Structure 1
Amino acid sequence: MSTIIKPIITEKITKDGELYNRFGFVVAKKANKVEIKKAVEKAYGVSVLDVNTMIYRADRSTKYTKSGMITGKTSAYKKAIVTLKEGDSIDFYNNI
């Protein structure tokens, strides 16, 4: 389970799941498409047709406040969009 870190539950990906049978996951940075496919099939018991991956870089920001300049950054992560076979589905809300 170290390949899949967490599912992405946003409005856009939820809509893709309903219309196109696609689901999103945050995955390990070093995971490749074959490892992601095997991990999703094993964890959720579905058939995966396609895996698309993208790497998001860390965003840096600077804010000027009364107390001075504050800098920060968001963490970098890798996202995978998984397309499932017709008829298969993943229910993140009732998966107990």
Structure 2
Amino acid sequence: MSKNFNQERLLQVLVAPQISEKATYLADKNEQVVFIVTPDATKPEIKAAVELLFKVEVKSVQVANLKGKKKRFGRFMGSRSDVRKAFVCLKPGQEINFTEGGAA
């Protein structure tokens, strides 16, 4: 980590891993992992948080802001919340495995 970040802030930056067919394809082909992050997270914060939590080396971070869909709930219009995704590219030989461990 090149900059000093508040450790409490880094623990709150990553909301959840995105586990989908597309995310699995990216993990296999480009050694990338997809995370849902807080809307105000910056690329250096995301990099520092992944390195802190998973003890891996991060090569780069790309970020995408996804707007929430407009949906109908009966006769009322509503919208899903906006989501910010981080595509974290790991250095060669690094891996994050979400399937091992955990309760059955």
TM-score of the alignment, normalized to the shorter chain, above 0.5: yes
Q: What does residue 41 of structure 2 align with?
A: 31
Counterpart check, 1:47 vs 2:29: no
Counterpart check, 1:79 vs 2:85: yes
Q: How many residues align?
A: 92
Q: Secondary structure at the match of 1:41?
A: helix
More helix by share: 2
Q: What does residue 14 of structure 1 align with?
A: 24
Q: Taking structure 1 as the reference length, what is the TM-score of the superposition? A: 0.88
User: After TM superposition, where is structure 1 displaced by more than 4 Å over at least 4 residues in a row?
Assistant: none
Match of 1:88 among 77, 89, 94: 94
Which amino acid in structure 2 is aligned with residue 90 of structure 1? Answer: I
Q: Which runs of 5+ in 2 are unaligned?
A: 1-10
Q: Which runs of 5+ in 1 are unaligned?
A: none
Larger-Rg structure:
1
Q: Taking structure 2 as the reference length, what is the TM-score of the superposition? A: 0.82
Greater RCO, CA 8 A, separation 6+: 1
What's the RMSD between the two structures over aligned residues?
Answer: 1.4
More strand by share: 1
Which amino acid in structure 2 is aligned with residue 36 of structure 1? Answer: I
How far apart, in 2, do the equivalents of 1:13 and 1:58 lie? 19
Q: Secondary structure at the match of 1:2?
A: helix
What is the identity percentage for the equivalent residue pairs of Structure 1 and Structure 2? 30
Q: Secondary structure at the match of 1:79?
A: strand
Which amino acid in structure 2 is aligned with residue 13 of structure 1? Answer: A
How far apart, in 2, do the equivalents of 1:85 and 1:46 lie? 8
